[in-house]
Amino acid sequence: MANEARPCPCDIGDRFEYGGLGHEVQVEHIKAYVCKPSASTEKAVVVIQDIFGWQLPNTRYMVDMLAANGYIAICPDFFVGKEPWNPSDDWSTFGEWLKTRDARKIDQEADVVLRYLKQQCSAKKIGVVGFCWGGIVVHHLMMKYPELKAGVSVYGIIRDSDDRYNLLKPTFFIFGEKDDVIPLDQMANEARPCPCDIGDRFEYGGLGHEVQVEHINAYVCKPSASTGKAVVVIHDIFGWQLPNTRYITDMLAANGYIAICPDFFVGQKPWDPSDDWSIFNDWLKTRDASKVDREVDVILKYLKEQCNAKKIGVIGFCWGGMAVHHLMLKNPELKTGVAIYGVIKYFEDRYSLLHPTFFIFGESDDYIPLEQVTLLEQKLKQHCKVDYRVKIYPGQTHGFVHRRREDINPQDKPYIEEARKDMIYWLNKYL
């Protein structure tokens, strides 16, 4: 009765008798269905099945349709012999069933199929389409595989990919308005996630350690040699525990600074890429970057009394860049600051800086238009009495200094490294 009242999360739809125009092949440890066009071609498409498996006639019909449109089309068994979902299965076991068929753990099979297409079919350009479960796979591959040229994710279940928006290749997402499995608010997040992309998140434990500074948690990393110089690192909207930010904190320590990244949200939840972007402004109102003075005072006291710091600077990213701008206008104890893609619109009337400040921006930042940067520079020229610098890095987007990994973005590597060197140079100059 439970199955009758509520069947499996995905309806098998109109299943029909269709033998297919292609044939089955064995590709190393994977079975696959292949259909080729009548004319020779170097273009291929990998078709990734839904939960009902690679032998579903409906999917083979789509494979044949791609071949009829001039593509070598292949639908491998990405379950590698495991049973596909059967509509008669107990839907309450679906979650457990799905755990053994992780759509983001298909890299070995993807490599095998790509090798087959290149070596056995002479394919030079390869794309991928996937349905439902296969749509999740497509989303994963578009994040990871530079050798694929494009992807089409057809009603992929977004909640399984909700922190992944930094696509490597052009991707088309297809959804149905009345999809019971994928609500429209999830589709909105897919089409337009939060204003800041979380970027290349990576596993990084850090070289420092966490401390409790009065009511604030903080991450601290110290240099090997004793020093009286310190830098406060102010995190972005993704919080003080983001590995990318800790990496920068450790980099500052490696350059001779006591570096500390406090939790300036003071226990409030950081932004999560899966959060509904439409509530972002309301979320931001409870985390005002110009109301960090109490926490800054606590951290400065800690650095002076516990770490013997005599000269203290500050750097900040995104939300933290706003905080730096605020502090450079107000806090006399800081010696210098670096605001990295701070959101200028919140500080349009504030240009009388107390301390030397370096502003870093990306030329292709969708969140901070170049006209805002130009206006900032003009106003600083009119009103600022201390040293400042505004630098725009060609082709770079929001988050490039700390959220983008230079090891997997060779085209951006020179600018990422240049910006980090410029930041260190500025700190060295004034600390």
pLDDT bracket for residue 4 (50, 70, 90)? very low
Q: What is the pLDDT of residues 150-184, one digit of tens each?
A: 999 998 865 644 456 778 889 999 888 877 776 66
Percent above pLDDT 70 for the chain: 89
Higher confidence at residue 211 or residue 372?
211
Phi, psi torsion values for 25, nearest 5 degrees = -135, 160
Q: What is the pLDDT of residues 26-83, one digit of tens each?
A: 999 999 999 999 999 999 999 999 999 999 999 999 999 999 999 999 999 999 999 9
**Is the pLDDT score of 111 beyond 90?**
yes
Higher confidence at residue 196 or residue 254?
254
Place of tokens 């991450």: 219
Average pLDDT over residues 8-17: 66
391's enclosing H/E stretch is: strand 388-393
Catalytic residue among 139, 365, 402, 412: 365
3-state secondary structure at position 128:
strand
Which residue, 143, 189, 191, 142, is CA-closest to 162? 189
pLDDT bracket for residue 1 (50, 70, 90)? very low
CA 266 to chain CA centroid, nearest Å: 24
Q: E strands along 176-299, which residues? A: 209-213, 216-221, 229-234, 258-262
Average pLDDT over residues 273-281: 77
Higher confidence at residue 88 or residue 291?
291
Place of tokens 């400042």: 388
Q: What is the pTM of this model?
A: 0.60
pLDDT bracket for residue 10 (50, 70, 90)? low
Task: Kindly give, in sequence order, each residue whose CB lies less than 8 Å from that of residue 281, ignoring residues fewer than 6 positions away.
Answer: none
Q: Enumerate domains of the chain plus CATH numbers.
A: 2-191 (3.40.50.1820), 209-430 (3.40.50.1820)
Confidence at residue 2, expressed as pLDDT on a 0 to 100 scale: 39
Which residue, 24, 42, 45, 46, is CA-closest to 33? 24
Q: What is the pLDDT of residues 392-423, one digit of tens each?
A: 999 999 999 998 888 888 999 999 999 999 99
Catalytic residue among 140, 235, 398, 402: 398
Higher confidence at residue 342 or residue 178?
342
Enter the DSSP assignment of 279. G
Higher confidence at residue 421 or residue 272?
421
Query: Annotated catalytic, 398?
Result: yes
Which residue, 92, 98, 116, 150, is CA-closest to 36? 116
Strand partners, 359: 339, 390
Sort strands 229-234 and 216-221 into parallel, antiparallel or unpaired.
unpaired
Give 137-183 as a DSSP string: HHHHHHHH-TT--EEEEES--GGGGTT----SS-EEEE--TT-SSS-
CA 54 to chain CA centroid, nearest Å: 31
Phi, psi torsion values for 111, nearest 5 degrees = -60, -40
CB-CB contact of 58 with 142 (8 Å): no
Strand partners, 30: 27
- Lowest-confidence region among 126-135, 296-305, 325-334, 364-373: 364-373
State the chain's mean pLDDT as an integer: 89
pLDDT bracket for residue 191 (50, 70, 90)? very low
Strand partners, 262: 218
3-state secondary structure at position 340:
strand
Query: Annotated catalytic, 365?
Result: yes
Average pLDDT over residues 210-219: 97
pLDDT bracket for residue 369 (50, 70, 90)? confident
Task: Kindly give, in sequence order, each residue whose CB lies less than 8 Å from that of residue 305, ignoring residues fewer than 6 positions away.
Answer: none
CB-CB contact of 36 with 75 (8 Å): no
> Residue 395 is encoded by which pair of tokens?
């082709």
Catalytic residue among 75, 194, 196, 318: 318
Query: Annotated catalytic, 307?
Result: no
Of 163-172, 182-191, 248-257, highest mean pLDDT: 248-257
